[in-house]
Amino acid sequence: MNHLPENLKYALSHEWAHVEDDNVVRVGITDFAQEQLGDLVFIELPELGRKITAQEQCAVVESVKTASDLFSPVSGEIVAVNSTLEDEPEQVNENPYGAWIFCVKTTDLSGLDKLMDADAYQLVIDQ
Amino acid sequence: MLKQTPLCDLHLKLGAKMVPFAGYQMPVHYGQGIIHEHLHCRSHAGFFDISHMGQCLILGDNAASELEQLTPSDITGLNMGAQKYTVLTNNEGGIIDDIIITRVEAGLMIIVNAACKDKDFSWLKNRLFGRCTFKDLPDQALLALQGPAAASVMAKFSKEAAGLLFMQSCATTINGLACSISRSGYTGEDGFEISVANQDAEQLAGWLLAEEDVEAVGLGARDTLRLEAGLCLYGHELNEAITPVEAGLQWLFKKGHKHFPGADKILQQLQHGPEKIRTGLLVESKIPVREGSVVVNNDDQALGIVTSGSFSPSLGKPVAMALLERNAASLGNTLYALVRERKIPVTVTKLPFIPHRYLR
């Protein structure tokens, strides 16, 4: 069994979130999610500067077989996107916790309280 | 409760990710992913378990003439061992299923889609009742070996099979196991399909997989391989409301044949042209265009719908097939597929996307 990084928070919709300085939250998808999706061939990144609310759909990851929505764990503004994924979406398959997808600057970190820690998320994916 | 093929244990041993498909538990890929398996089949050889497909025999001297009344194709003209890809049509000219008919010693062998097995078999039994004998073959597995290395691999097991041409078959043995082998497949590559007793399937699969060039390929890559080859998938390009002319399958018609279900409508379309037609679409974007996506022109007028769409591992970009209004389906025409309310440019292109490599 692969150990989930302890420094991340996890959503039921299989995103991970990492809290950085200045209330910036970095978001990607979990190893479990990339494995379920299979080979990724396209990632639709959110627009820089877009204002989003928590649980809003803001990106799409597409594998050979299917398209899957990504949701922001917090409300705020998109302040960075990982544009290297436009040409190399497979980075997410190879290194899901390194290949982040977008960053949200938030004024309200409380949305993160709804996320799980590694142990709780492990129970979800073990089911 | 999902049914299993005789190779279910083998799939699990090989690390397959199993998914439900047409009532069966089937491998979607074996861990290295769809793209790897797809490219391996195009460059070497892929092994496929297609035992979920239905197999049956139509017995009787008149089997060919009777079956010819149920399809638009020449069945009576099939030589011993020869195969024909065709469709069963309904009375409205729609397609009940696409099937492969092989002339064998006992009569005709038919291979049908897994999801259509029950309806096809009852259609055939009803239509042929009192005329021919219908025999289901639930104890036969079906394996496929596809790719440029398939012939050299097959030559090690059966010289007779390796000597077949495309759409020919033979009854033979591999190391003592009785097999019916045809030079056919669903990838656009040269290759073989092997009908073998359920109890022998795992042994035969093991021999083929032990060959250096051969890797197991799941249903995921089977779908992208057939899409690149421009081949129809029942339930997508074909269904009970789509005629064989609309599906672009008039090449399988027997000239002058008028006595099959739905012939009036189908032959009229053949003469005057159908209103809609199956086409290939090259996607001029990285965004995959998928089944159900509406195809529009510059003026946002809806012209048809995408029937299959995916990333093409061989081309490194998305491709799709669509059912389009015929006057919009001219080659080179630029249209748009709607994806998440965006207009993705697509170019109408001839099929297949990847040239077939059949041995004719």
Question: In a mutagenesis test of the A interface, which of B286, B290, B319, B338 is the best target, namely the one with the most A β-carbons within 10 Å?
Answer: B286
Which of A38, A42, A93 is the closest to B287 by Cβ? A42
Token readout for A29 is: 């998808």
The list of chain B residues with pLDDT below 70 reads: none
Give the pLDDT confidence of B180-226 residue by residue, as tens digits: 999 999 999 999 999 999 999 999 999 999 999 999 999 999 999 99
B311 to A64: CB separation less than 8 angstroms, yes or no? yes
Q: Are B195 and B206 in contact (CB under 8 A)?
A: no
Give CA–CA dist B95/B92, Å, rounded: 9
Give CA–CA dist B180/B110, Å, rounded: 12
B28 to A62: CB separation less than 8 angstroms, yes or no? no
Question: In a mutagenesis test of the B interface, which of A32, A35, A36, A39 is the best target, namely the one with the most B β-carbons within 10 Å?
Answer: A39
A41 to B290: CB separation less than 8 angstroms, yes or no? no
Give the pLDDT confidence of A41-95 residue by residue, as tens digits: 999 999 999 999 999 999 999 999 999 999 999 999 999 999 999 999 999 999 9
Which of A38, A42, A93 is the closest to B288 by Cβ? A42
Which of B29, B288, B340 is the closest to A41 by Cβ? B288
A90: nearest CA partner in chain B: B35
Give the pLDDT confidence of A110-122 residue by residue, as tens digits: 888 889 999 999 9
Among B47, B3, B48, B49, smallest CA distance to B22 is for B3
pLDDT value, residue B70: 98
Q: Are B4 and B24 in contact (CB under 8 A)?
A: yes
A45: nearest CA partner in chain B: B287
A42 to B313: CB separation less than 8 angstroms, yes or no? no
Write out the H or E segment, with its range, that includes residue A122. helix A118-126
Give CA–CA dist B306/B324, Å, rounded: 8
Contacts of B303 (CB under 8 A, 6+ apart): B295, B296, B297, B324, B325, B328, B335
Q: Are B180 and B80 in contact (CB under 8 A)?
A: no
Q: Is A77 on the interface with B (CB under 8 A)?
A: no
Q: How far is B47 from chain A (nearest CA, A)?
A: 20
Hey, is A5 helix, strand or coil? coil
Residues of chain B positioned with their CB less than 8 A from the CB of A38: 28-29, 33-34, 220
Q: Which amino acid does the sequence have at A34? A: Q
Give CA–CA dist B338/A112, Å, rounded: 34
Predicted confidence (pLDDT) at residue A1 exceeds the cutoff of 70 = no
Q: Is A57 on the interface with B (CB under 8 A)?
A: no
B58 backbone φψ class: left, alpha, beta (φ>0; ψ -120 to 50): beta
Q: Which residues of B touch A (CB under 8 A)?
A: 28-29, 33-36, 220, 223-224, 286-288, 290, 310-311, 313, 318, 340
A41 to B287: CB separation less than 8 angstroms, yes or no? no
Q: Is A38 on the interface with B (CB under 8 A)?
A: yes
Among B299, B266, B291, smallest CA distance to B73 is for B266
Which of A41, A44, A86 is the closest to B311 by Cβ? A41
Question: In a mutagenesis test of the B interface, which of A34, A47, A62, A64 is the best target, namely the one with the most B β-carbons within 10 Å?
Answer: A64
Predicted confidence (pLDDT) at residue A2 exceeds the cutoff of 80 = no
Residues of chain A positioned with their CB less than 8 A from the CB of B35: 39, 41, 64
Which of A44, A67, A93 is the closest to B290 by Cβ? A67
A85: nearest CA partner in chain B: B286
pLDDT value, residue A108: 85
Give the pLDDT confidence of A9-34 residue by residue, as tens digits: 999 999 999 999 999 999 999 999 99
Hey, is B360 helix, strand or coil? coil
Give CA–CA dist B329/B276, Å, rounded: 8
Q: How far is B351 from chain A (nearest CA, A)?
A: 20
Q: Is A94 on the interface with B (CB under 8 A)?
A: no
Residues of chain A positioned with their CB less than 8 A from the CB of B225: none
B191 backbone φψ class: left, alpha, beta (φ>0; ψ -120 to 50): left
Number of Cβ within 10 Å of residue B87's Cβ equals 28
